[in-house]
Structure formats: C-alpha cells, structure tokens
Chains A and B, each alone.
Chain A
C-alpha cells in the first residue's frame, strides 16, 4: 500500500484495511452469485451430456416444478431475515388446498373457494405471527405446533378423502393452475424455442419482483433487516418490531397459500397430504440462496435461485439415470456447501481454518 512510512503516518483506511467496496467486489461477495454460477455450470454440464435438458419443454417443466418452492421460499426468506423460521408452510398448503377443494366440491365459485382457502392460510400465519411477535415465543416451537395443527385440520376437514369433483368452476381452477404463457401451441405468435412458462412460474416471478422491490426500496424491508440484525436496537430506535415480525409470518403463510392454490389447479384435485415435508425444501432453498438462519440476511433473488438449483439437481440426477434415493445426499451436500460459501463471503476463511488444523496436527 502506498503510504509514507518515513513520516510515520498511514491513512486510517490503510491501517484498518477498510476500503469502500466496488460493485464487482459486492457481487463476488454475494452468495446468490455463486449459486447462480453453480446453476449455470450444472445446466451446461447436463445439457452436454443430455441434450434434451435444455429443450423448451424441459425448461417449462423445471420452472413449473420449482416455482411453488420458490414462491414459498420468498415468504420463508422474509421470516428468516427477521431471525425466525416457519416450519408450518407445508401443512398450511395442505389446509388451504382442502378448504378450497371443499368449497369447490360444494359447487361454489372459484373466487369464494380461493378466498376462503387464502383466509384459512392467512389465519394460520396470523396465529404464528401473534405468538412469535406479541407473546414472544420461539418461532421454531410455534410453527412446529402449527405444522401439526394445520395438517390435522386438513385431514379432519377432508374426511381423509381426495377431493376432485370440483363443480361448475372446475375448468377455471384448472385453467389457472395449468395456464401457460406463451401457450406453446403451434398457432402461438411466439417462436417455439421460447419455453411455454407456467402460471406457477409467472406468479413466482411477479412475487419475486415485488419482494425484491420491497426489501430494497421500502422502509418495511429495511426494518425487516434491522429486526434480524439487532432486535433490541431496532426496538430502541422506534421500529415497530412486533408488527414487522407478525407481518413476516403472515406473508409466509400467504405465499404458502398461493403455492397451494396453484398446485390445486394444476392437479385438479386436493389432497390433505399436499406440501408434506415441503417446509424443509423451502428452508433449504432459502438458505442456499443466502438467507442466514441467524437473521439479518437474505434476498428475493436468492430464494428463487436456491429453489431453482434444488430442482435442477433433482432433474439432473433423474436424467443421468442415478437412483433417485441419492437425491437427498446431493441436496444435503449442496446446502452445507452453500452455507460454507456464505461464511467465506462474510469473512470466515476456510483456508485459515485448514492451516490451523494442519499446524495443530503437527503438534505445534
């Protein structure tokens, strides 16, 4: 560093080693960037091995498959930013699907069905938020309880039956869940190489844009990060911590409800087991995308790209003909790897750790 040692003076920035980060450095230090890179490398590698991977049909399938997880990961990321966790999203999906399914089965309109489904989901989120934010209970405990309660309600309400006779509005519900843009039909004005993206995908994109906008440009987003960064400090500076936390759980439940209704429409049926064990996939997606379980970090883009990576790994293993039972091992390894990269970008050095361990090994 060019400073005048003869004069015995160094600039403070030289001593502390703090320089304002350039845009490039910021990108390199972000976990979503590395996950995006992994996603691209993996995609290219698979398409070399298996050309059918990058066909527009397969891309449409993959993006439809991960969209519900991505949608829920957006809500989960908001909760994780506050330093909490929401284990109930999978069960909320089940409950929402059954409530909407029952209303449709009774012959009511799809608007009423979706409205009541959404209301059921939001009620679960409100209960979560109330106990976490206003009573001060641990989010793990509260949402673990809700995970059990919502699933139980779904099973009881459904009479443990699959619901599929949806009455007069069944075609509309199906159109919502199976909608595509572009249509993918031969008469479409779009060229056939553009994948016919699903309504699930477009919903995710829209929600991601909204969440990204709010997290970056709105006071609410800034306060979300503040709550996760230092809750007492946020409280002392006048941030309405309780309300922000409550709203985060409400939003997470909203995302789960939307995902549930899309899947309901796609499959044209409602089962009470919908979303079972999804909470772990959603948390994995958020964490791979850079959400920090300690709170204070996470992005909308990260949530989406994390969900995408999980699905591409799954799809890749499938195409490579690897026993699907290996999925868990790969996904698990990626979760740990992603968090390790996240730690590196935050200043932890794996190299230093290795060096230390090696030196201890030599008995120093």
Chain B
C-alpha cells in the first residue's frame, strides 16, 4: 500500500503543458527527492498533490483510495502537509503559537473558552524533543535560526499526524550548520514512518537523505531511480537533458 500514488497526472494551463503523464509512488517512511530545473514542473506537481489545484487528467490515490482535492484543506485532512519554502511562520509569535496556529487548543466552555497555553507549550516542547531540536516553545520565531524555524514548520506537520510531508527547498536559504540540522529532522520524520517528498536544488542534501530520486524535465518524468543506484553526475545530466532518460 503506497501512501501516495499518481497515475498519468497531466496539467495544462491553456496551451501550456506544465505536466504530462506523471506516474509516481511514495511509500511509508520513504523520502523521495524531486529534482528538476526551474520551470520543469516540480512546483506544479507539488501544488497538485497539496490540493492547490486539480490535475487536468490523471489519478491521485492516497492509501490506494482515489481522491479529488478541491482545496488544500482537503489534502490536509487526508494527512498531506506542505512545508513552504518561506516557511509561512509568524515572526511575532512564539514557536508554540506557530505550531498551533489555526488549530489552537482551548479550555473552558462555549464562548468563554480560552487558549490552553500550558497544554500548547507542553505539546510543542514534546514535538521539538521528538525532533531533537533545540527549539524552545516560548521563544519568539523572530529570534530563531533557520534550522529552528524549520523545526517549527515541521512540528506543525507532526501535530496533525501527517503521513506525507511535502518540503519545498527547506535547505535553500540557511547556513551549512543548519542544513545538517534540517537533514536530521528529515531523518527523524522518516524514522517515524512519515513519507517525504523533498524538492531541492541541492544535490548533496538529496543524496544524503533521500531513498529515491525522481527527475522531471519539461513536464515529464525522465528518471525514477534508487539513490544507491545513481550518481550526482547522472542526475545532473538528467536535469539538464544531457542524458535523455534513465
């Protein structure tokens, strides 16, 4: 049973074919590296999976059950979470506030229900501990490092018990030390059985944490290889088109 299975996913914007007949599967606890040049169709693919817009043709199945997402919320209800490139965090709020934003824990009754701050702080502290991140629930996100911000964004997905996490360039704008921290976060999510699709331009990161690498070029999937059976040179060739397909 695959967490996610795409069959013949096609997306056209008017005369432009952004994606043509993409097949893709992701298993439980597997990290899939999604690579391709700018405009190759990575973002379109991610947005279709996240429910931002439906495919023009093709089928999406979650746990072997065909789904049709009209809105991102529906994808989220099926256990698909996306960690955006710009992280989508509120700088002026604490880590705990950000983890629970939009799904706050409350205590009390009816209109007099108030935020259950102790519970939210305790739960997010627990999540950071699971991720082995040095992030404190009461700290303001404004004062956090790139790695800690990633931890907050990832803790959000853990909160909802996401089964598939889509990560868009999580290591693009952070320091070397923090990249290592983020890659560790990805490993921990895998260990907990979460499936991951990692969109990245950084070859070493993809090779370090991904089990499988999929390359898209001009809207079509040109390679789907186990990381162990390929090399950065081959992937680069596939991305640029120097190698036609593998």
**Which residues of A pack against B, CB within 8 Å?**
12-13, 16, 18, 20, 217-219, 222-223, 225-226, 228-230, 232-234, 236-239, 296-297
Query: Which listed segment binds A: B101-109, B210-218, B232-240?
Result: B101-109
A77 to B: closest C-beta gap in Å: 14
The reply to whether B144 and A230 form a contact with Cβ atoms under 8 Å apart is no
The reply to whether A230 and B106 form a contact with Cβ atoms under 8 Å apart is no
Q: How many residues of B contact A (CB 8 A)?
A: 26
The reply to whether B89 and A233 form a contact with Cβ atoms under 8 Å apart is yes
- Residues in B whose Cβ lies below 8 Å from that of A232: 88
Leading 6 A-B pairs by shortest Cβ distance: A229-B90, A237-B102, A238-B102, A296-B92, A233-B88, A229-B92
The reply to whether B90 and A18 form a contact with Cβ atoms under 8 Å apart is no
- Residues in A whose Cβ lies below 8 Å from that of B136: 20
Q: How many A-B residue pairs have CB under 8 A?
A: 65
Q: Which residue of A lies closest to B106 (CB)?
A: A219
B226 to A: closest C-beta gap in Å: 33
Q: Is the interface of A mostly helix, strand, loop or mixed?
A: helix
Cβ < 8 Å to A, chain B residues 69-96? 72-73, 84, 87-93
- Residues in A whose Cβ lies below 8 Å from that of B202: none
The answer for the CA separation of A20 and B136 in the assembled complex, in Å, is 8
**Cβ 8 A contact of A239, one of B101, B134, B156:** B101
Say yes or no: A226-B73 contact (C-beta < 8 A), given A20-B136, A217-B114, A232-B88: no
Q: Is the interface of B mostly helix, strand, loop or mixed?
A: loop
The answer for the CA separation of A238 and B143 in the assembled complex, in Å, is 24
Q: Which residue of B lies closest to A219 (CB)?
A: B104
The reply to whether B101 and A297 form a contact with Cβ atoms under 8 Å apart is no
**Which residues of B pack against A, CB within 8 Å?**
72-73, 84, 87-93, 97, 101-104, 106, 114-115, 134, 136, 138-139, 143-145, 156
Enumerate 25 A-B pairs (CB-CB under 8 Å) in ascending A order. A12-B134, A13-B134, A18-B139, A18-B143, A18-B144, A20-B136, A20-B139, A218-B114, A218-B115, A219-B104, A219-B115, A222-B97, A222-B115, A225-B90, A225-B93, A225-B97, A226-B90, A226-B93, A229-B93, A230-B88, A233-B88, A233-B90, A233-B101, A237-B156, A296-B91
- Residues in A whose Cβ lies below 8 Å from that of B87: 233
The answer for the CA separation of A237 and B144 in the assembled complex, in Å, is 20
The answer for the CA separation of A223 and B103 in the assembled complex, in Å, is 11
B203 to A: closest C-beta gap in Å: 27
The answer for the CA separation of A89 and B120 in the assembled complex, in Å, is 37
B93 to A: closest C-beta gap in Å: 6
The reply to whether A237 and B139 form a contact with Cβ atoms under 8 Å apart is no
The answer for the CA separation of A238 and B75 in the assembled complex, in Å, is 13
B95 to A: closest C-beta gap in Å: 11
